[in-house]
């Protein structure tokens, strides 16, 4: 049976003091995983929103039901442009997410180092 | 969800390592000291937490400490950032901030900013890990997923899983208040009964009790008495084995039903299922076990619908907001837009509710579409949910959970009445063709046509667009989902081209279980609108009564309508936030059908028990008939009949004028409220075979038959068939089915329910035998036997006679009985005069004379009516017209048969 003292110990050592020790480990393990999956969900949503599969499947189907030659030609050109444009946008967004992940990894130690450096510089 | 998903008794086992011995289990590695647990896929589920004053206090302290800690962290961040901003803005320019020197020169407020960033990261960590109400169950289905990954591993080593961390704060509070309850009642073990009581006294207990329609006061005392049967004493208070099993089973059930946390609902259900004594107690106060299970199912269903709605909303964002599809191949469809409504758009905006049940029909529909046949017609009665199926398809199309042929398309419902409203068939056809061309060119449209028979012009005479439509959809091959009724399908579509090119998918009537589920799903909206709570009893009653008595609209629509009306009634007759009970529903159904479906009241009970006496107020003698009819009514009202046959089938035999028809009329007035509350057919009008058509309708004529329509509109009634021996034998064959199965199919194909009728047939067959036998002084039993064995055989087939619940032989009237009838008839004259403020009195001799004149052994009491008319009513009319009688005067029928007037004493 979980002892009463255990509950109190949990409060002090896990919730309050323990979390300070757990925090850096969490940041680069569970926290990082959660953040990456958040980025992945965002990117996936954008991918779905851009509907690449729909556009590729309908590559030669004319837009706005313009079945004449000119219509078809314009349509194919337009589709190439849109697919490329959206592809580029997606890549940019992917890089943005990558940047965010890098920030996630770098910012806390960087901030801490800068804080220490600043204290040191202040003392000097 | 089927009941089977609710575990009846959780399969728990005692820990094999320690055998649940308290001394050994304290250090047992297998169960971690719980002693008992439930083996599940995820591990050996145990409840192993001490609950007492100290742990309760520590838990509360922990919640408070965490909140204070988080507030402190947030304050630190705000203060650090604020100081940084204040000093930076005050002492530096923007250009300074852009230099590296500013960030590295050792300014104290910059250092604080760096710390704010680090503490901010720590805050994110705290929010992520320390603010969840409880651990998430491993079986939980997040809103963005539709299928649960299977985690079952064979022969996995069972490790003990402590279930407490998965309990929601409210569930923990319930366990804690169970401890307090045990302490208050001075029992030393927390039992499932205490857990159950604790749920009822908790916040969510109110919901469960409202759903059950139960008040806490009704269960409070018996529940306390039940709890007090446990061992009493002083703390420490421990969990009983059953309580540990209940809590572990609550986890197991929540996990298997993909819930996020263990909530009060699971504790409520499992504690109830665990304790047979509790089940017995709740049953005794009027709530069977199935009710509790259904209430839990209801809570679960509503939670699931909420989660589904979240997932739907997330996916709906991907669907285009306009008529243009995502591939941008569509065109503007201005004409179509004018005559139609975009269902996918409505679904996307959340206007179309999800469908409950009918999964098989949906599968059939999807299969038909996927097979490339394209056009589907849903055939079902009004109210079975055809529109709901189309709307569900729209929702699935929004989520894109559809066969590829429907992917990136929209479903558009065309208003056919508006299309054909042109009046001119040429114009309507032109419109239709133009619209269909738009659909064909656009290529992203699925057409939904509610009531496709409108195209055939069932009601509009020469307007027949079915052929045009058929050829267009054959040519263009775009999907069409149409709906129609079975009658319209048979009459207008089946044998035509349109019917042949469409795949027919039947939408059957849902069974009671499915109807209840629909009501459960829809109850939230009704409750919100009327500001009431609906009890499970009301749902069940609405379902059974609608299925049994309301046949104009099919279930579940009829049940929904009843529930809506009952909610309005409850709110108006009581106050807001009241509970809609089964009685409210029964009252609505009673008002609609005149069928007494409410609980039998004290007053009605008295009336039922004295029905014979009441009936004898109008019928003289004929005890056997009166008793048989009264008993049948009592059986029906006590709901003791099977419900598969009419309430009763009677054959009244006897000479004319002895009271056969009068018995039926008396019954109608005594019990059905009106002497004319009966369907009366004189069978002498149904002597040839073709008259069957008049009775059940002629094929092709939607009006139906005289009998079937009357019973369909008024299912709770008396069917009186006079002089049955004169009917065509085929008609008697028709009634074999009515008497046996309680139903009859009319010419349109509707099954008419006769299970709430009393079928009374009267016959003069064998009259001469009865009269001579009675004159010879034979006993009634012998007369009856002879009738059945000999006299009636020439008129009726044995299987016909066998189907009667009672064959009642009416005796020829004796002279004494005729005198009584004369008194009864004079009584009605007296009542008429009383209404005019006058009195009436008859002398004995005069009545005897009337009886002599009105009695004819061949015609029973029938001549009596004429005699009274000639000798009493006619002279009375003369007296009245001459003004010889004033108010308060008394008209006297003297011994010599003359009428005289006794003037009232003038008091003023």
Residues in Cβ contact with B225 at an 8 Å cutoff, skipping those fewer than 6 apart: none
Q: Using one digit for the tens of pLDDT, what is the confidence trace for B44-65?
A: 888 888 888 888 998 898 889 8
DSSP for B219-286 reads HHHHHHHHHTTSPB-PSP-EE-HHHHHHHHHHHHHHHHTT-SSB-HHHHHHHHHHH-HHHHHHHHHTT
pLDDT, residue B423, reads 67
Mean pLDDT calculated for residue range B701-730: 86
Which of B741, B721, B743 is CA-nearest to residue B731?
B721
d(Cα B277, Cα B92) in Å, to the nearest integer?
Answer: 78
Do B258 and B186 contact (CB within 8 A), yes or no? no
Determine what percent of chain B is predicted with pLDDT higher than 90: 33
- In this structure, the answer to whether residues B253 and B166 fall within a common structural domain is yes
Please tell me the least confidently modeled range out of A101-105, B307-311, B760-764: B307-311
- In this structure, the answer to whether residues B888 and B782 fall within a common structural domain is no
User: Is B458 a residue whose pLDDT tops 50?
Assistant: no
Which of B554, B133, B208 is CA-nearest to residue B381?
B554
pLDDT, residue B40, reads 81
Q: b/e for B153-187, b at 16 or more Cβ within 10 A?
A: eeeeebebbbbbebbbebbbbbbbbbbbbbbeeeb
* Structural domains of chain B, count: 6
pLDDT, residue A67, reads 87
d(Cα B479, Cα B413) in Å, to the nearest integer?
Answer: 12
Please name the residue of chain A whose CA is at the shortest distance from the CA of residue B69: A16
Do B173 and B199 contact (CB within 8 A), yes or no? no
**DSSP type of residue B813:** P
Q: Report chain A residues whose CB lies below 8 A from the CB of B62.
A: 7, 10-11, 15
pLDDT, residue B730, reads 87
pLDDT, residue A1, reads 44
Phi, psi for residue B44 in degrees, rounded to 5: -90, 105
Please name the residue of chain A whose CA is at the shortest distance from the CA of residue B316: A49
Phi, psi for residue B297 in degrees, rounded to 5: -60, -40
Q: Using one digit for the tens of pLDDT, what is the confidence trace for A61-73?
A: 898 888 899 999 9
pLDDT, residue B121, reads 96
- In this structure, the answer to whether residues B773 and B845 fall within a common structural domain is no
User: Is B459 a residue whose pLDDT tops 60?
Assistant: no
- In this structure, the answer to whether residues B799 and B660 fall within a common structural domain is yes
Please tell me the least confidently modeled range out of B28-37, B465-474, B755-764: B28-37
C-alpha distances (whole Å) from B852 to each of B544, B622, B844, B866 are 55, 20, 12, 13
Identity of the residue in B69, B118, B329 whose CB atom sits nearest the CB atom of A115: B118
Q: Between B846 and B150, whose confidence is greater?
A: B846
d(Cα B880, Cα B362) in Å, to the nearest integer?
Answer: 74
Sheet holding B36-39, edge to edge: B13-14, B36-39, B44-46, B160-162
Q: Report chain A residues whose CB lies below 8 A from the CB of B124.
A: 31
Which of B499, B812, B428, B843 is CA-nearest to residue B658?
B812
Chain A interface includes B775 (CB < 8 A): no
pLDDT band with cut points at 50, 70 and 90 for residue B154: very low
User: Is B21 a residue whose pLDDT tops 70?
Assistant: no
Mean pLDDT calculated for residue range B667-690: 85
Q: Is B328 contained in some domain?
A: no
- In this structure, the answer to whether residues B225 and B273 fall within a common structural domain is yes
pLDDT, residue B144, reads 47
User: Is B382 a residue whose pLDDT tops 80?
Assistant: yes
Q: Is B612 contained in some domain?
A: no
- In this structure, the answer to whether residues B391 and B482 fall within a common structural domain is yes
Determine what percent of chain B is predicted with pLDDT higher than 70: 93
d(Cα B429, Cα B623) in Å, to the nearest integer?
Answer: 70
Pairing of strands B375-379, B480-484: parallel
Q: Using one digit for the tens of pLDDT, what is the confidence trace for B478-531?
A: 889 999 998 888 888 888 888 888 899 999 999 999 999 999 999 999 999 999
Beta-ladder partners of B808: B652
- In this structure, the answer to whether residues B523 and B431 fall within a common structural domain is no
pLDDT band with cut points at 50, 70 and 90 for residue B1: very low
User: Is B149 a residue whose pLDDT tops 80?
Assistant: no
pLDDT, residue A77, reads 94
Interface residues of A toward B, Cβ cutoff 8 Å, are: 1-4, 7-8, 10-11, 15-16, 19-20, 23, 26-27, 31, 34, 41, 48-49, 51, 54-55, 57-58, 61-65, 107-108, 111-112, 114-115, 117-124
Q: Is B845 contained in some domain?
A: yes
User: Is B693 a residue whose pLDDT tops 70?
Assistant: yes
Ranges of H-type helices in B317-358: 334-338, 343-348
User: Is B4 a residue whose pLDDT tops 50?
Assistant: no
Q: Between B908 and B720, whose confidence is greater?
A: B720
Beta-ladder partners of B446: B411
User: Is B190 a residue whose pLDDT tops 90?
Assistant: yes
ipTM of the complex as predicted: 0.91
Q: Closest approach of chain B CAs to the CA of A19, in angstroms?
A: 8
d(Cα B114, Cα A113) in Å, to the nearest integer?
Answer: 9
Residue B551, domain CATH: 1.10.8.60
Q: CB–CB of A123 and B126 under 8 A?
A: no
Q: Using one digit for the tens of pLDDT, what is the confidence trace for B791-815?
A: 888 888 888 888 898 888 888 888 8
Q: Is B82 contained in some domain?
A: yes
| 3-state helix/strand/coil string of B554-581 | CCCHHHHHHHHHHHHHHHHHCCCCCEEC
| Domain final residue pick, B809, B843, B874 | B809
pLDDT, residue B167, reads 95
User: Is A106 a residue whose pLDDT tops 90?
Assistant: yes
Q: Report chain B residues whose CB lies below 8 A from the CB of A103.
A: none
Identity of the residue in A1, A8, A62 whose CB atom sits nearest the CB atom of B50: A1
The label of the residue with tokens 């939980």 reads: B140
- In this structure, the answer to whether residues B475 and B568 fall within a common structural domain is no
pLDDT band with cut points at 50, 70 and 90 for residue B147: very low
User: Is B825 a residue whose pLDDT tops 70?
Assistant: yes
User: Is B152 a residue whose pLDDT tops 70?
Assistant: no
d(Cα B567, Cα B550) in Å, to the nearest integer?
Answer: 18
Q: CB–CB of B26 and A1 under 8 A?
A: yes
Mean pLDDT calculated for residue range B428-432: 85
Chain A interface includes B52 (CB < 8 A): yes
Mean pLDDT calculated for residue range B303-321: 86
User: Is B10 a residue whose pLDDT tops 60?
Assistant: no
- In this structure, the answer to whether residues B750 and B634 fall within a common structural domain is yes
User: Per mean pLDDT, which of A33-47, B205-219, B289-303 is the most reliable?
Assistant: A33-47
Residue B222, domain CATH: 1.10.1780.10
Three-state DSSP class for residue B82: helix
Q: Report chain B residues whose CB lies below 8 A from the CB of A1.
A: 26, 33-34, 48-50
d(Cα B838, Cα B849) in Å, to the nearest integer?
Answer: 24
d(Cα B838, Cα B832) in Å, to the nearest integer?
Answer: 9
pLDDT, residue B155, reads 47
Q: B179-182: which pairs have CB atoms within 8 A and are 24 or more residues apart? A: B179/B51, B179/B52, B179/B56, B179/B237, B181/B227, B182/B227, B182/B237
Mean pLDDT calculated for residue range A77-103: 96
Identity of the residue in A4, A16, A62 whose CB atom sits nearest the CB atom of B55: A4
Ranges of H-type helices in B482-594: 486-488, 497-501, 512-530, 536-549, 557-573, 582-593
- In this structure, the answer to whether residues B383 and B464 fall within a common structural domain is yes
- In this structure, the answer to whether residues B31 and B172 fall within a common structural domain is yes
C-alpha distances (whole Å) from B457 to each of A104, B461, B465, B503, B724 are 69, 6, 7, 21, 42
pLDDT, residue B774, reads 80
pLDDT, residue A5, reads 66
pLDDT, residue A79, reads 94
Q: Closest approach of chain A CAs to the CA of B696, in angstroms?
A: 55
Whole-structure pTM value: 0.80
Beta-ladder partners of B393: none
C-alpha distances (whole Å) from B320 to each of A49, A64, B409, B531, B682 are 10, 15, 10, 36, 66
Q: Is B711 contained in some domain?
A: yes
Mean pLDDT calculated for residue range B462-470: 75
Determine what percent of chain A is predicted with pLDDT higher than 90: 65
Three-state DSSP class for residue B355: coil
pLDDT, residue B747, reads 81
Q: Closest approach of chain A CAs to the CA of B65, in angstroms?
A: 8
Which of B169, B184, B160 is CA-nearest to residue B248?
B160
- Domain with B715, as residue range(s), is 630-809
Mean of the per-residue pLDDT values of chain B: 86
pLDDT, residue B462, reads 47
The label of the residue with tokens 């263009």 reads: B476
Identity of the residue in A1, A16, A122 whose CB atom sits nearest the CB atom of B69: A16
Which of B335, B450, B338, B436 is CA-nearest to residue B391?
B450
Among A12, A13, A23, the residue to mutate for chain B (most B Cβ within 10 A): A23
User: H-helix or E-strand containing B852?
Assistant: helix B844-854
């Amino acid at each position: 049976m979980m002892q009463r003292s255990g509950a109190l110990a949990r409060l002090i050592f896990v919730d309050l003091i323990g979390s300070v020790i757990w925090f850096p480990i969490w940041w680069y393990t569970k926290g990082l995983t959660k953040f990456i999956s958040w980025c992945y969900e965002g990117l996936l949503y954008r991918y779905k929103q851009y509907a690449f599969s729909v556009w590729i499947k309908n590559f030669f189907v004319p837009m706005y039901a313009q079945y004449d030659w000119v219509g078809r030609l314009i349509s194919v050109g337009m589709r190439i442009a849109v697919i490329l444009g959206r592809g580029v946008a997606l890549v940019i967004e992917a890089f943005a997410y990558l940047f965010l992940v890098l920030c996630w990894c770098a910012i806390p130690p960087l901030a801490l180092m800068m804080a220490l450096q600043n204290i040191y510089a202040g003392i000097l | 969800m089927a009941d089977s998903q609710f575990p009846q008794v959780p399969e728990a086992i005692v820990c094999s390592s320690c055998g649940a011995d308290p001394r050994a289990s304290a250090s047992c590695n297998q169960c971690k000291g719980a002693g008992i647990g439930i083996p599940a896929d995820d591990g050996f589920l145990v409840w192993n937490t001490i609950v007492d004053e100290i742990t309760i206090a520590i838990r509360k302290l922990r919640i408070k400490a965490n909140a204070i800690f988080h507030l402190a962290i947030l304050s630190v961040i705000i203060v650090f950032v604020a100081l940084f901003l204040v000093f930076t803005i005050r002492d530096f320019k923007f250009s300074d901030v852009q230099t590296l020197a500013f960030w590295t020169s050792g300014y104290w407020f910059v250092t604080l900013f760096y710390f704010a960033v680090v503490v901010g990261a720590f805050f994110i960590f705290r929010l992520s890990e320390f603010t969840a109400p409880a651990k998430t169950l491993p079986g939980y289905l997040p809103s963005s997923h539709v299928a649960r990954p299977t985690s079952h591993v064979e022969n996995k080593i069972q490790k003990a899983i402590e279930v407490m961390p998965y309990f929601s704060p409210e569930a923990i509070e319930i366990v804690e208040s169970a401890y307090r309850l045990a302490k208050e009642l001075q029992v030393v073990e927390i039992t499932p009964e205490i857990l159950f009581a604790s749920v009822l006294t908790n916040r969510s207990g109110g919901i469960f009790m409202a759903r059950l329609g139960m008040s806490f006061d009704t269960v409070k005392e018996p529940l306390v008495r039940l709890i007090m049967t446990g061992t009493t004493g002083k703390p420490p208070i421990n969990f009983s084995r059953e309580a540990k099993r209940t809590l572990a089973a609550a986890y197991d059930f929540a996990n298997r039903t993909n819930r996020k946390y263990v909530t009060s609902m699971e504790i409520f259900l499992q504690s109830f299922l665990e304790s047979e004594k509790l089940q017995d107690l709740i049953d005794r106060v009027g709530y069977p076990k199935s009710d509790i299970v259904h209430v839990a199912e209801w809570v679960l269903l509503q939670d699931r619908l909420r989660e589904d709605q979240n997932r739907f909303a997330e996916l709906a964002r991907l669907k285009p907001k306009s008529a243009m599809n995502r591939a941008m191949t569509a065109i503007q469809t201005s004409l179509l837009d004018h005559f139609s409504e975009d269902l996918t758009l409505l679904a996307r905006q959340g206007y179309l509710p999800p469908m409950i049940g009918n999964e098989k029909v949906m599968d059939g529909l999807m299969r038909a579409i996927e097979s490339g046949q394209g056009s589907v017609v849903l055939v079902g009665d009004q109210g079975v949910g055809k529109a709901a199926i189309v709307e569900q398809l729209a929702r699935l199309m929004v989520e894109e959970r559809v066969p590829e042929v429907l992917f990136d398309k929209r479903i558009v419902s065309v208003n056919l009445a508006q299309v054909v409203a042109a009046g001119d068939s040429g114009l309507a056809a032109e419109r239709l063709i133009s619209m269909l061309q738009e659909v064909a060119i656009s290529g992203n449209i699925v057409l939904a046509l509610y009531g496709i028979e409108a195209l055939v012009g069932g009601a509009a005479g020469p307007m027949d667009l079915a052929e045009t439509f058929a050829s267009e959809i054959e040519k263009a091959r775009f999907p069409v989902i149409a709906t129609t009724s079975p009658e319209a399908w048979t009459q207008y579509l089946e044998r035509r081209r349109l019917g042949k090119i469409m795949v027919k998918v039947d939408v059957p009537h849902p069974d009671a279980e499915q109807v209840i589920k629909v009501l459960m799903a829809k109850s939230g909206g009704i409750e919100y609108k009327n500001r009431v709570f609906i009890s499970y009893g009301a749902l069940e009653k609405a379902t059974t009564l609608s299925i049994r008595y309301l046949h104009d609209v099919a279930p579940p629509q009829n049940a929904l309508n009843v529930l809506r009306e009952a909610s309005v009634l409850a709110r108006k007759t009581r106050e807001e936030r009241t509970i809609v009970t089964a009685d409210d529903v029964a009252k609505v159904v009673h008002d609609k059908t005149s069928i007494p479906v409410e609980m039998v009241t004290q007053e009605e009970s008295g009336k039922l028990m004295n029905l014979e006496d009441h009936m004898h107020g109008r019928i003289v003698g004929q005890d056997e008939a009166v008793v048989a009819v009264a008993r049948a009514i009592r059986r029906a009202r006590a709901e003791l009949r099977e419900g598969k046959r009419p309430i009763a089938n009677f054959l009244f035999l006897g000479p004319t004028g002895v009271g056969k028809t009068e018995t039926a009329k008396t019954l109608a007035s005594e019990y059905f409220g009106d002497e004319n509350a009966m369907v009366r057919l004189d069978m002498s009008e149904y002597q040839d075979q073709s008259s069957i058509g008049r009775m059940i309708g002629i094929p092709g004529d939607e009006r139906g038959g005289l009998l079937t329509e009357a019973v369909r509109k008024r299912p709770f009634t008396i069917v009186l068939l006079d002089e049955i021996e004169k009917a065509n034998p085929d008609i008697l064959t028709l009634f074999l089915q009515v008497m046996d199965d309680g139903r009859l199919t009319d010419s349109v194909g509707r099954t008419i329910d006769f299970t709430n009728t009393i079928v009374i047939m009267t016959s003069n067959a064998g009259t001469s035998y009865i009269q001579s036998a009675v004159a010879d002084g034979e006993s009634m039993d012998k007369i009856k036997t002879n009738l059945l064995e000999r006299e009636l055989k020439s008129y009726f087939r044995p299987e016909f006679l066998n189907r009667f619940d009672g064959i009642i032989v009416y005796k020829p009237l004796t002279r004494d009985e005729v005198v009584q009838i004369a008194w009864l008839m004079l009584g009605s004259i007296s009542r008429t005069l009383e209404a005019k403020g006058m009195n009436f009195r008859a002398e004995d001799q005069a009545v005897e004379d009337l009886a002599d004149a009105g009695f004819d052994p061949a015609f029973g009491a029938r001549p009596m009516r004429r005699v009274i008319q000639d000798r009493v009513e006619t002279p009375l009319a003369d007296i009245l017209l001459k003004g010889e009688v004033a108010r308060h005067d008394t008209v006297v029928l003297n011994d010599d048969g003359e009428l005289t007037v006794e003037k009232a004493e003038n008091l003023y």
